[in-house]
Amino acid sequence: MQTAQQHASSIGILGTGSHLPANAVDNALVGSRAGVTAEWIHRKTGISERRYVAEGEATSDLAAHAARAALDNAGIRPGQLDHIVVATSTPDHPQPATAAIVQDLIGAEQAAAFDLNSVCSGFVFALHTAHRLIADGGHALVIGADVYSRIIDPTDRRTAVLFGDGAGAVVLGPVPDGYGIQASRLETFGRQHRTIRVPAGGSRRPACAETLAEGAHWFAMEGREVRDFVTDQLPLSVKELLLRADRTGAEVDHFVPHQANGRMLADVLPSLGLERARTHFTVAEYGNTGSASIPITLDAAHRDGAFQDGELVLLSAFGGGMSIGSSLLRWHRA
């Protein structure tokens, strides 16, 4: 199924925020557990380190820190929020929604709060959803937050070397005409749903002694299939989004991709047609933080003053499902 939506009103990003755990984990430590060297990890992924949560920390804690930073950056009080959407595939609990916990932590009692799971594409899916929710006015908080260190098998070199923990957030609200979200494109390729998975712990295979013994509660990924999917589908998706927005790749000023794997991103970039765009990266410092990777990178670029008023910013993510989500924004710098 595919959806594409032109902007119905001028809604844009008013502020950004992010939060990374204090515990930095280098390649030497990760590699020793996974049976590979630090040099091998960097050569294959471009990652130098990643962050892991402390004992007792959960997804909602990271999300709340990022939310407060975004609200402060936007100059918006928690009580002004109408909606909170948390994109995560590593919720605190099966129930309730992590967003409900975040609502309580930040004191946003008036906001309707819910989770959205489209794995690493989740933030862009949530951004589009929140945009539609406040098309007639109001403010929304969109958060991408994941704690992959809790679901990664440390001995699996296909996954353990890539993933880290973190959260990023944006506040959406009214911006001047012509600014804000210009178009979004969401795609799901359900026939490939087995490519990225956590086999057990849900209603099909509830957690039990047998699934624990199998390691079926660990995150699993077919790396070559993911690379092939991204190589084939991401250029098509980006070009279709730009076509529907009546823009060309040459008009895009900034590209903020999902920080999946630095080497894979470098390989696919030339095929996207974004010849003059500045691509922003945080993958070397933080690894793949799932649904948090785009808002973390967006916040870093914003706070560095990278985005100028009126510039076009393209966000594009890919993840389990399989799924791709992209959004084109005209940046408003107040």
Average pLDDT over residues 30-45: 96
Q: Is 173 helix (H, G, I), strand (E, B) or coil?
A: strand
Residue 121: both structure tokens together: 């594409």
* CATH of residue 44: 3.40.47.10
Q: Is the pLDDT of residue 8 over 80?
A: no
Residues 232-246: pLDDT tens digits?
A: 999 999 999 999 999
Residue 218: both structure tokens together: 């660990």
Q: How many CB atoms lie within 10 A of CB 249?
A: 17
Q: Count up the domains in the chain and report the number.
A: 1
User: Distance between CA 101 and CA 96 in Å, rounded?
Assistant: 8
DSSP 53: P
User: Distance between CA 334 and CA 283 in Å, rounded?
Assistant: 28
Q: Is the pLDDT of residue 227 over 70?
A: yes
Q: Is 46 helix (H, G, I), strand (E, B) or coil?
A: coil
Q: Is the pLDDT of residue 1 over 60?
A: no
Domain of 238 in residue numbering reads as 1-334
Q: What is the pTM of this model?
A: 0.95
User: Distance between CA 296 and CA 282 in Å, rounded?
Assistant: 8
Q: Is the pLDDT of residue 4 over 90?
A: no
Q: Which residues are catalytic?
A: 120, 258, 288
Residues 30, 2 contacting (CB under 8 angstroms): no
Helices vs strands, H then E, count in the chain: 10, 15
> Which strands make up the sheet holding 2-6, listed edge to edge?
2-6, 180-188, 323-330, 312-319, 254-257, 278-279
